[in-house]
Amino acid sequence: MREIRAGATEPLIIVHGGGSYGHHLARRYELQDGYRDRSQILGFVRTRQSMTELNRIVLDSAIKNLLPCVSLQPSAFIGMRNRRIERIDLSIMASLLDLRMIPLLFGDVAFDERLGFCILSGDQLASRLSTELSAEQAILAVDVDGVFDSDPKRYKKAKLLQKMTVEDVRMLIQRREKEAQGPDVTGGMTGKLNEILPAVEKGIRVVIVNGCVPGRVSEALKGRPTIGTVIES
């Protein structure tokens, strides 16, 4: 949150993922496949509880860094259909932004008209909000330096792709769609690229940086060049 505080400009919306708090539970109970039987209900409840706990930690950090964040539970104002956002009510978020507050959202377990429930990833949420609110840019903070031509955690010679177009992203997804994604039930880097494409197609600049390296997020927020990947239409 210090990074965000250092580079924050208005208006700003923060969306965080589930990480170790949500992904392992969602995978264990196979929540990404929708409702099948009562054995998944406890998993739904535990995943929601875990995400709420993580969100509280993030919120505490935000307030300590003097960021006026207000937590919003996405599944309370978003309706899903077949794992995709079908309906979204932005009225409360708009009111917060008008008051110069920062909506703080997170990946969630949401109700789905067809599947009963499903995973609403922070990536899909960020992409849709960027599009709906005509954002100037969307910044994705990950644990690698950006988008590479191959998995940098598996291949030492992987090359960082500093600039990409929509077509570049599509071609990379086609090459990497069969790669293993680890425990992330929302799709890893390939999933992030798939989700963010609609925003790029709408003219929104997307910057993917390493959130573990000091200065990267704050520089990206200020619109300054930094190590990472810039995706533009």
Domains and CATH numbers, the chain: 1-120 (3.40.1160.10), 135-233 (3.40.1160.10)
Give long-range contacts, CB 8 A cutoff, 24+ apart: 154-162. 160/227, 160/229, 161/229, 162/228, 162/229, 162/230
Coil, strand, or helix at residue 130? Answer: helix
What does the pLDDT look like over 195-229, one tens digit per residue? 999 999 999 999 999 999 999 999 999 999 999 99
What is d(CA 35, CA 51) in angstroms, rounded to the nearest whole number?
19
The reported pLDDT for the residue numbered 184 is 47
How confident is the chain (233 residues) per 10-residue block, as mean pLDDT? 90 91 85 92 93 96 97 96 96 96 96 95 96 96 94 89 95 75 59 94 96 96 95 93
Q: Is the dihedral of CA 207, 208, 211, 212 positive or negative?
A: negative
Residues 6+ apart with CB under 8 A from 167: none
What does the pLDDT look like over 168-194, one tens digit per residue? 999 998 887 765 544 444 458 888 999
CA proximity to 43, closest of 107, 113, 117: 117
